[in-house]
Structures are given as structure tokens and as C-alpha cells.
Amino acid sequence: MNIVVVEDDVLLGHHFERTLKKAGYNVASSPHALGAIRLIDETKPAVIVLDMLLTGSTAMPLLHELQSHDDLARIPVVMVTSMAADLSLETLKPYGVRYVLDKTTMHPDDLVAAIRSVSL
């Protein structure tokens, strides 16, 4: 199963990639939305792992872009952010976000569990 990770902190992106690869997923990462679009087109991921604050922008333009294409709009998004306390899953659901993880309290296994739950 292919996963695309969009995380602008390269070292955290490496960590997510290592965690997901150990769980048996194929992972491609991008630090910014532009690169993510290319990876999503190339790999047709089952799930997108997305940070809220990206380099030079928020995740919202990318979420809008995904929602504007029928095939991409169906890909579930797991949002991993340190702003989880300020975000509401209900507000983000129309943008394809199915799970919000808090970077400051999550365990590495929580990411795998979230991906399993949204890709069922």
C-alpha cells in the first residue's frame, strides 16, 4: 500500500517514513505541497499523511486541490500537526481529513493505527 507523507521538517519526515516502512507500507515524502502533488499523481497513494503548517503555506491549498479532482478527493488524509488543539476534525472532514494526530502527544504506533483505520 502506498503512502505519501507531506512534512516540511525533513528529519520528522524521515522518522514517519521509517515508522511506516517498518509497518510494511511503501512511502514517498515531500517537504512541500508542490512536490506532494507530483508524488500523489505518480504513486496513487491509499492514504496521505499531511502536516498543517508547510513551508511557505498551510496545508489548505493542497486540500483544496485534492478536493477539486474526483479521484484524489477520495484519498483519506491523516493530519499530523502540533496545532491539533486548535483544529476540529469536523471542520476538516469536508476536505478529506479523516484523522487528526497531535505531534506533541502521539506515539509512533498511532500513525500506523490511524492509517489502518482510515484505509479499511
Q: Which residues bind other proteins (CB under 8 A)?
A: 8-12, 14-15, 18-19, 22, 31-32, 34-35, 53-58, 82-83, 86, 103-104, 106-109
CA distance 85 to 112: 21
CA distance 95 to 77: 9
DSSP structure string for 10-32: HHHHHHHHHHHHHTT-EEEEESS
- The residue (of 68 and 74) whose beta carbon lies closer to other proteins is 68
For other proteins, the closer CB: 71 or 109: 109
CB of 119 to other proteins, least distance (A): 22
CB of 100 to other proteins, least distance (A): 15
Closest to other proteins by CB, 72 or 112: 112
